Structure 1
Amino acid sequence: MYNEHFGLKEQPFGLTPNTSYFYNVRAYREAFNMLRVALSNGEGFIKVVGEVGTGKTLLCRKLLNSLGDDYYSAYIPNPFLSPVALYKALAEELGVKCKTRDGVNEFQKSINERLIELVAEGKRVVLVIDEAQTMPEKTLEALRLISNLETETSKLIHIILFGQPELDRILAQHELRQLKQRITFSCQLTPLDKEGVSSYIQHRLNTAGYHGEQLFHNNAVALLAKASRGVPRLINMLCHKSLMCAYGKGVRQIDRVHVLAAINDTEDASLPNPFMRWLWSMSS
């Protein structure tokens, strides 16, 4: 509703992961490059960990979109599955016809045969699992067994786990030490600092077609950085609501008053009470 008012071609702060808005800040660039290098080197297990809202799914989609014709990708976004259900999901992603009566052994055999076919065609097979921290322990062990599939010279499948910090705590369990030892590359997505928040906001505005003067006042950006804790998803929510507030008042620059209104309307955004009171007194 506010695009025309602010001179935007599209909404810049949507919550749906959109790879055209991928922010090439150092942490994300390093993570993306690490993933590409690890895959090109034929590594079996790779792990990416980040807090809620730090951009794991966006990075995941960016990676999948960047893979060329020499890759065959399988994607499992909701891995809260039993071992049999995991094998069935992977088989379906690989184009293997599944029978309702098939069990673990049948799925393993079919998956192995299909992987050998794909590798013979010159494909590198990549399995990407999002929200990996939701996987039951037995399913993680089944995943390890899948990673055992290999020829004399290379792995038949490369597995990338995207998950929240709980994933590290799960993998630290003694029972999963074999899986943990298989992870050859790992990285962590961290929240943005104040400068990063400012650049992130400007990047998304530019991508959405904004070419005017500074849209978010410096004091608004500082407040956004503090209230969002540098988490991209929260930044998007607060910026979107701030733009709506400014649009409703008919103004063309966002300042701390609009951001404060957005903060009050966003459950996960917060400020230390003394700081909040001081800002309210300054804006009144």
Structure 2
Amino acid sequence: MYLDYFGLQHPPFGLTPNTGFYQSLQPHQEANDVLQVALSEGEGFIKVSGEVGTGKTLLCRKLLVDLEQSYRFAYLPNPTLSPLQLYHAIAMELGLELAAEDNPHTLLDQLHRRLIALVSEGRPVVLLIDEAQALSDESLEAIRLLGNLETEQRKLIQIVLFGQPELDQRLAKEQLRQLRQRITFSYSLRPLNRDEVASYLQHRLHVAGYRGGAIFTARSLAVLTKASRGIPRLINVLAHKALMLCFGEGQKVISVKMIKQAISDTEDATLPPRSVLLPLSLLCGAAAVASALAMGVLR
């Protein structure tokens, strides 16, 4: 719709996680570093948690792309499975054909044999589970048992859990303490701050092919950051709608009004307090008065 207008080759703010748009902002780079260090250690469970839309799935896919030559990955994007279904799904990911009537004990034994064979080939096996907060207690226990498989030298499989904060709450339960104690590395993704939001927007526009001047003003950026709470998915939604409005009005710069219109059309975005929307002249005037009072000029 607005691609040609802004000189874009690709949509810059799509909602599908795309590693081509990955940017090494502090929270994501730190999480990526933790994951790579943890995998190099070769033991235990790893957990990455964060609010909805903070980029967990993108991190997961980034890991798959970066390390596919070094590890044999099994990826489960939808973990709403029973223990039996879970073992079957993992087996399929690892190229193992199982009989439908096999029970969990038999499946675990066959997985054990398959993991030994894969590790002997020199490629450590890593299981990535996205949306791990959706796992039932029974399936979490099945995952724990899978993580117990080992040789005398190392674990046969490493397991990375990506989940929302509800995963942390689940793991805090007494009945899951055995799994909780096996998590050797963890990282909690935080939202982006204002400078990171500005960099994020500029980066995605550049990757999409934009080569013009600044599209977001300082004030529209401040309002977008406040309304999105620094959550990348909401940033994408608001930025996309703002670009549509900007195109529709024949403008080249996104105004605060356009951001506010995008916010009003987005359920999970929140309008910022009035103080954010004060004219810059008033803010400067207030700052001058405060400075004068501090210096004792006004009494």
Q: TM-score, normalised by structure 1?
A: 0.95
Cα separation, 1, equivalents of 2:220 and 2:276: 13
Letter in 2 for 1:135: L
Map of 1:132-171 to 2, 5 A cutoff? 132-171=132-171
After superposition, give the CA deviation of every residue in 1:197-219 in whole Å (9 maximum; x if it has no partner): 11111111111111111111111
What residue is the counterpart of 2:50 in the other structure?
Answer: 50
Give CA-to-partner distance per residue, 1:173-232, whole Å, 9 cap, x none: 000000000000000100011111111111111111111111111111111000000000
Structure 2's unaligned 5+ residue stretches are 283-299
Deviations 1:41-78 (A, max 9, x none): 10220000000000000011001111142310000011
Q: Which residue of 2 aligns with 1:254?
A: 254
- SS of the aligned residue for 1:88 comes to helix
1:204 aligns with 2:204: yes
* Bigger shift: residues 216-225 or 151-160: 216-225
Distance 1:222 1:92 in 2: 47
1:100 match: 100
CA RMSD of aligned residues (A): 1.5
- How far, CA to CA, are the matches of 1:272 and 1:21 in structure 2? 28
Q: By how many angstroms is 1:278 displaced?
A: 6.2
Conserved in 1, the CA contact under 8 Å of 2:171 and 2:177?
yes
Q: What does residue 213 of structure 1 align with?
A: 213
Q: Distance between the aligned counterparts of 2:124 and 2:273, measured in 1?
A: 53
Structure 2 match to 1:5: 5
Aligned partners of 2:256 and 2:229: how far apart in 1? 16
1:239 and 2:239 are equivalent in the alignment: yes
Q: Distance in 2 between matches of 1:68 and 1:91?
A: 18
| Partner in structure 2 of residue 39 of structure 1 | 39
Q: What percentage of residue pairs aligned between the two structures are identical?
A: 55
- Provide the C-alpha distance between the structure 1 equivalents of 2:10 and 2:60, rounded to a whole number of angstroms: 23
Maintained 8 Å contact 2:17/2:57? yes
The one-letter code matched in structure 2 to 1:97 is E
Which residue of 2 is the match for residue 126 of structure 1? 126
* TM-score for the superposition, normalised by structure 2: 0.91
Q: Give SS of 2:119's match.
A: helix
Which amino acid in structure 2 is aligned with residue 63 of structure 1? Answer: L
- Judge which range, 174-183 or 22-31, deviates more: 22-31
Determine helix, strand or coil for the equivalent of 2:252: coil
Matched, 1:172 2:175: no
8 Å CA contact retained: 2:5, 2:247: yes
Larger radius of gyration: 2
Contact 2:124 2:157 in 1 (8 A): yes
Tell me how far 1:102 sits from its aligned partner. 1.0
Paired residue secondary structure (2:181): helix
The corresponding residue for 1:27 is 27
Deviation at 1:81, TM superposition (A): 1.2
SS in 1 for 2:133: helix
Report the counterpart of residue 61 of structure 2 in structure 1.
61
For residues 17 and 154 of structure 1, the distance between their equivalents in structure 2, rounded to whole angstroms, comes to 33
Letter of the 2:30 partner, please give it.
Answer: E
Q: Per the alignment, do residues 223 and 273 of structure 1 end up closer, same or farther by CA in structure 2, a change over 3 Å counting?
A: closer
Range with bigger deviation, 75-84 or 127-136: 75-84
Distance, in Å, in 1 between the alignment partners of 2:116 and 2:264 is 55
Separation in structure 1 between the aligned mates of residue 108 and residue 144 of structure 2, nearest angstrom: 12
Quick one: which amino acid aligns to residue 264 of structure 1?
A: S
Per mean C-alpha deviation after superposition, the further-off stretch among 212-221 and 159-168 is 212-221
Structure 1 equivalent of residue 185 of structure 2: 185
1:262 counterpart letter in structure 2: A
Q: Which runs of 5+ in 1 are unaligned?
A: none
Distance 2:205 2:277 in 1: 30
**Structure 2 residue matching 1:27: 3-state secondary structure:** helix
The separation in 2 between residues aligned to 1:232 and 1:273, in whole angstroms, is 21
